[in-house]
Each structure stands twice: as C-alpha cells, then as structure tokens.
Amino acid sequence: MAYVLHPTGNKGGGDPSHAVIQLKPDGTYVLLIGAMDLGQGAPTILRQVAADALGVPIEKILVSNYDNLLPLSVSTSGSRVTLIDPHAVVNAAEDLKRQIREWFAQQHEANPEDVEIEGETVYVRGDRERTVMTMEQVAMGAAWGGGYEPASLIGRGAWQPGKYHAHDPETGEMPNVGAISFGAALAEVEVDTETGTVDVLRFAQVWEVGKAINPLLVRQQINGGYCIGAGFALTESCYPYFPSVEYAPEKMGDYFMPTFEDYPQQMIFGIEEVPHPNGVQGAKGFSEGSASGPPPAIASAIHDAIGVWITEFPITPEVILRALEAKQAGVES
C-alpha cells in the first residue's frame, strides 16, 4: 500500500496562466489559452469552466489551445493546469462580461451596473421589455456595428497562486500557495520465486481531487496513471537502463511498456472531493500523482509476499531473484 501527497502547481507561487475569451459575431465564444493537451483533456475542462463562468451551454464555447501565438499557460506540467488555468478562464469571462455590460449600457443609455447578463440574455434591470437582447444580437451588434457602436468584446484574464517566494535557505520553508492532492494505492501481487516474475493481480487507487470537474477524465487519469507507474515499477527502464548503461533500447521493442496482458485482473478506482480554497469550484490537479502510487504500492506488496524490500526500479525478475538470493545468504550466514 502507498500513500501519495502530490503538490499541484508551483508551491512557491508565481507560475501564472493567461486566457482570452472572445465573443464571436454569432454569439459563440472562443477561449484562447496555451494549455497544451497531451490527452489529459485540458481543453475539455477549461471549456466546462468557461461555460460555467459565462452561464452558457458548453456547445457555445470553442477552445483553441494549440499555438504559441496564444496566451501563455506556462506549461502542462506539475499537475498545474486544473488548479491555475480555470482562474485565468474565470477572470477572462468576468472581464468579457464587464465589457458586454459597458457596451450594452452605452447602447441603451443606462448604467453598466444595471445591465443584467443571464446566460444568453442581456437586459437593463427595471427596463427588461424595452432593452432585452439575445447574446447573439449583442454579438452581432458589437461586431458588425450598423445601428450600434462597434466594439471588440474580448475578455482577458491572468492568475497565479501568489507571488513567487524562494524557500528559506535556513529552514527550507516556503509558503504553500498551491494545493496538495492526496492519493492512496493498494496492490495485490503474485511473485514467482523461481523466475522472479511479478503479476499484479488487483490494483486499487483512490484520489482526493478537490472537485472532479470532469469525473470521466479523472477516472482515466487514475487508471492511466497505473499503467505509467506500473511500467516504471516493473518493466520500463531509462538511463542507466537495464541491466547496465550499454544496453540502451534501440527500437520500441527493446522498451517494455505494459500491455493489456500486464494489466491487473481487477482495477478499482475512487474519487473523493474536498473543495480546495485555492481552486475554482475547489478543483486541484492530481494526475501525475496517480503514476506515483503504483511503484511504492507494488514494492510494498512484493515485500509482503517475499519478505524483501526492493529499493530500485524497475523491479525486474532478475532484481527479485538476486534479492531472494541475498536474503537466503543472510539467513544461512
């Protein structure tokens, strides 16, 4: 069994993200944010966050995140996107709504504070019947002008979890302005003590993620993290490689990623939600942590099975046999 504390975002602060949301002439929105997707679904959850912040259906939001011309999101790393980027998106949405209120007030000779945006309907409070417009009409008016003043309705937002503070050189302390996600991993293994092979029979992993913005994506990251962690634990080796440095893999066939058959007979996953004060709707990142649980969980299950603590990865069959031999030699001496 293993317990994982996974820091999400830069603990010392700094590390901002930026977002832009543009209202298009047809009343849809484009979210521009340089949050690279590696398959983890960043554009999906940011689209969800934008839809919530603007109070519109998700279909109204298009995300563009594949270009270095886009607003900076620093990087897809450190499980930071889910913690940080939603703030930038929410800020951009608020900025856009402020601009919409100002433009709308100008057209109807009203105060911006009196302009009400209810999802895709805009009106002046107290004068709804005369002033009400759909967002599509607002967008069209602002974009094409005509009887209205043209305006570039483009919201901008930036956010970082506090200013950067270096750690104290004396104590190593630093302010924790990010968030920490918590995971537990449980492995059941069978070890063949003659050949050294390890079979992970069942594996369970539970993560506390603040708020699962998209539970299917959270589930994929938990189960996917198993594969990456289990490969690291049992089969995959990078420098100095296995069994030693001169045996670098030459082709893909020399590098041993887990296959379907290496996958456990039973996989159990769980999601716990305790909203985090630093996250939008309490959400925080966790994904890389799901690859951190399997190696120690598998190693401790191996210890439970054969009574030897293995302290190197990958735990190849050879590592197991050598550990068993050393144990035997210790008993005999």
Partner 1 sequence: MREVLYYAPTELTEATAILADHRDKAAVLAGGTDLLPKLNYYEVKPHALLYIGRLGLSSIHNGSSALTIGATTTTADLATHHLVQQYAPALAQAARLSGSVAIQNAATIGGNIANASPAADLVVALLALDASVRLLSHSGQRDVHLADFFLGPHLTILQPDELITQIHVPLSPGKTEFLKLGRRKGQTLAVVSVAVRLQLDGDLCHDARIVLGSMAPTPLRCRTAEHLLRGQKITTDLIHQAATQAIAESSPITDQRATAWYRKKAGEALVQRALLQALDKKEVRP
Partner 2 sequence: MKQQVLTFILNGEEVAVLVTPTETLLDVLRERLQITGPKRGCDDGECGACTVLLDGEPVRSCLTLALTVEGRTVTTVEGLMVKGELDRLQKAFYERGAFQCGFCTPGMLMVAKSLLAKNPNPSRDEIRSYMAGNLCRCGSYEEIIEAIQAVAAGEY
Q: Return residues touching partner 1 (CB under 8 A).
A: 194-197, 199, 234-235, 241-243, 247-251, 253-254, 256-262, 316-318, 321
Question: Which residue, 144 or 247, has its beta carbon nearer to partner 1?
Answer: 247
Residue that has been written with the tokens 């296995």 in this structure = 242
- Beta strands (DSSP E) in the chain are 2-8, 17-23, 29-32, 61-64, 115-118, 121-124, 133-134, 154-159, 179-191, 198-208, 266-272
Sheet holding 198-208, edge to edge: 2-8, 179-191, 198-208, 266-272
Q: Which of residues 188-217 bind partner 2 (CB under 8 A)?
A: 216-217
Q: Which is nearer to partner 2, 121 or 220 (CB)?
A: 220
Beta-carbon contacts of 219 under 8 Å, excluding residues fewer than 6 positions away, are: 269, 271
Pattern of binders to partner 2 over 252-281, x per CB under 8 A?
Answer: xx---xxxxx-x-x-x--------------
The yes or no reply on residue 220 touching partner 2 (CB under 8 A) is yes
Among 228, 233, 280, 308, binds partner 2 (CB under 8 A): 228
241: its two tokens: 């490689």
Q: What is the DSSP letter of 73?
A: -
User: Interacting stretch for partner 2, rule CB under 8 A, among 72-80, 129-137, 225-233, 306-314?
Assistant: 225-233
- Within 13 A of 285's CA, how many CA atoms are on the CB side? 25
Q: Which residues from 14-73 bind partner 2, rule CB under 8 A?
A: 37-41
Residues 6+ apart with CB under 8 A from 152: 142
Select the binding partner of residue 247 from partner 1, partner 2, none (C-beta < 5 to 8 A, by kind). Answer: partner 1
Nearer to partner 2, 71 or 296 (CB): 296
Q: In angstroms, rounded to a whole number, what is the distance separating the alpha carbons of residues 199 and 187?
A: 10
Which residues are near partner 2 by CB under 8 A? 37-41, 216-217, 219-220, 223-228, 251-253, 257-261, 263, 265, 267
